[in-house]
Structure 1
Amino acid sequence: MRDTVYCVLCVLLTLMLGVLAARYVSDTWMLAFFESLQTHIALACTGGAVLALIVRRHWYAGALLIASLLLACHSIVMLREHAASPVSADAQPSFRLLSFNIDNDNFENGARIADLIVGSKADVVEIFEASPVLSEMSRISVVYPYRIGCGVMTEDCDSLLLSKRPLLKPDMRDLSVLWRNRFILATIDMDGQPVAFASAHLSKPYFDDFHKGELYYLGDILQSVQQPLLLAGDFNASVIEPDMRRFLRRSGLTHLFPEPSTWPIRAGPLGISIDHVFARPPLQLISVRRIEDAMGSNHYGLLTEFTVAK
């Protein structure tokens, strides 16, 4: 019986580790879901390998333990690869961004989410799948009179950018043929400093190569931005995804480490970070924190404090 349990454990661990290790020899969208979960799966495999060693002390279980630890450690290295150190909380001037995928089917919580937006004290708000707040737009507009989305520059209400200050050179585009109007770019004068705010909602990375193509196109757009840049969005992928790593390397964007986990909400802090806030110097991130009440969405929202170095 002991040998059977040991054999089953080793076979399962070998298969899981083989899937994780495949990223090092192949870049295919079929691995995307597992790549974002590399830390979680590798740590689970570490526990499984320890269990296998308890069942039977054998060199193969030891090799699986080493492989699991190496994959877990490398995932941490990749999570930190494009991370910048946060600046002091006392840095001035400081501004606030609220970003939140509220879920297009979350109509019963539209009023609560509108309360969050109005009371957030954010300078800029970026909402994804914004239909639930369309009926609340009149009172939201009292605090945020300038917007793109939900009837402005588009008839639909999906991606939405709200601002207390006028929007300069507003732009709204498709990132691919899958979804319309899921990229927004606008320059806003933040107390004399022009700042480019970008909003992006990407397709899931296991939908063929659309995610990779959207990131490449997004990188092309952002390369032409000369102002300090803040990009927030639902990327449906962790920063350790190969196409995400290429995008960050190419665009010069950074994030804070560790990023708050935003999905799935049932996992809480043990989830993964697929909603991101990226900055490009001289814009610097002070903090990025999770809004603990998901308000019926399947994502947690993020509240970001940032400054622009002079």
Structure 2
Amino acid sequence: MRDRLSCIACVLLFIALMLVSLRYITDFWLLAFFYSLQPHIGAAAIIGSLICLAIRRSTVAWALLAWSIFITGHAFWMKLEFLPPSDTVISEKATRFRLLSFNVLGDNFTNADRIVDTIRMSGADVAYAMEAGPLGDRLDQLKDIYPYHIGCGVMVEFCDLLILSKYPIEQPRFFSLSELRANRFAIAGIRIGGQLVNFSAIHVTKPYFDDYHTLELIRAGAYMRQRPGPKILAGDFNSDSIAPDMQRFLRHYKMHTAGFEPATWPIEAGLFGVPIDHIFMTGEIKAVGLHRLPDSEGSNHFGLIADLAIEPASN
């Protein structure tokens, strides 16, 4: 009986580990979601391997344990690659600012007033809202703090992707990254400390919808490349930064996170969820801190707040 239980458990662990490990061979879209779950699957596999060893010690169980430890360790190692430089120094002349990014959930109308209060009290200089429908008829409540915005009646009628700003917006543009959803990528030029910073907001299609996730990242990068100067990209990516296409994107455009990224989805998982919402930036932008909103305000995502800084332009 012990041998049979051990055999069944080892086979299940092997299948789970193989699914995640295929990322080292191919970036197949059907398995893309599993790639974002690599830390979770790896940690569960470590526990499963230990259970297998408790049932019956075998070479296979020890091999599965070693495999599980590698998968888990490498997942966290990949996260370290995109952290802001540890030797970052922010001078007194730098201009500090704050960015809020929050998928508020398109049918979350019952909590619209709470979401408005959260945005107002966030202290953000620029705020992004994805699936912003619940805010469509409440923008007047935000005008005193954010007199400038694009989306929800400005440039596009449909209220989905919204950028709010305390400062004037220059050269605003909306783009459709694929035929699945329209106008889910926007760029707004906003001057911070006298410098024009390109603020980009994005809502990427889920990674298990064929190759659309990768395609949309490629197109977003192409649009960003057209704008010289410091860049910030934030929003709902529906994928962890350790996914292969996310890694390629961040390396190619030399972007990093604002800090170690907290889990943002699903909210029921709390700290053990997946960080699928991100705030990325190029090297000109210095990261001061990153944290998630304490309450989801009825959304299925937690929002993120990044404190950032930019040094004066060199002459």
TM bucket, shorter chain: over 0.9
| SS class of match (2:158) | coil
- The 2-side partners of 1:191 and 1:65 are apart by 52
Q: How does 1:33-72 map to 2 (within 5 A)?
A: 33-72=33-72
- The 1-side partners of 2:239 and 2:233 are apart by 15
Change (3 A) 1:122 1:257: closer
| SS class of match (1:135) | coil
The residue aligned with 2:239 is 237
**1:90, distance to aligned residue in structure 2 (A):** 8.1
1:62-82 CA-partner distances (Å, limit 9, x unpaired): 000011111111111211222
- The 2-side partners of 1:280 and 1:56 are apart by 51
Q: TM-score, normalised on structure 1?
A: 0.97
- The 1-side partners of 2:155 and 2:142 are apart by 18
Please tell me the residue identity of whatever aligns with 1:43.
Answer: A
Say whether residues 1:12 and 2:12 are aligned partners: yes
The residue aligned with 2:131 is 129
**1:85, distance to aligned residue in structure 2 (A):** 3.0
- The 2-side partners of 1:137 and 1:98 are apart by 16
Q: How does 1:198-209 map to 2 (within 5 A)?
A: 198-209=200-211
1:203-233 CA-partner distances (Å, limit 9, x unpaired): 0000000001000111111222212111111
**1:88, distance to aligned residue in structure 2 (A):** 6.2
Say whether residues 1:30 and 2:55 are aligned partners: no
- The 2-side partners of 1:289 and 1:125 are apart by 14
Contact 1:85 1:256 in 2 (8 A): no
Gaps of 5+ in 2: none
The residue aligned with 2:264 is 262
Contact 1:80 1:257 in 2 (8 A): no
- The 2-side partners of 1:84 and 1:285 are apart by 7
Please tell me the residue identity of whatever aligns with 1:154.
Answer: V
Number of aligned residues: 310
- The 1-side partners of 2:265 and 2:302 are apart by 7
- The 2-side partners of 1:282 and 1:19 are apart by 38
Q: Which residue of 172, 175, 199 maps to 1:173?
A: 175
1:151-174 CA-partner distances (Å, limit 9, x unpaired): 000010000001111101111111
Contact 1:79 1:257 in 2 (8 A): no
The residue aligned with 2:277 is 275
**1:298, distance to aligned residue in structure 2 (A):** 0.2
**1:191, distance to aligned residue in structure 2 (A):** 3.0
Please tell me the residue identity of whatever aligns with 2:53.
Answer: L
Please tell me the residue identity of whatever aligns with 2:59.
Answer: W
- The 1-side partners of 2:192 and 2:221 are apart by 24
| SS class of match (2:180) | coil
Contact 1:88 1:286 in 2 (8 A): no
Q: TM-score, normalised on structure 2?
A: 0.95
- The 2-side partners of 1:11 and 1:287 are apart by 43
The residue aligned with 2:296 is 294
**1:89, distance to aligned residue in structure 2 (A):** 8.1
Change (3 A) 1:69 1:204: same
| SS class of match (1:172) | strand
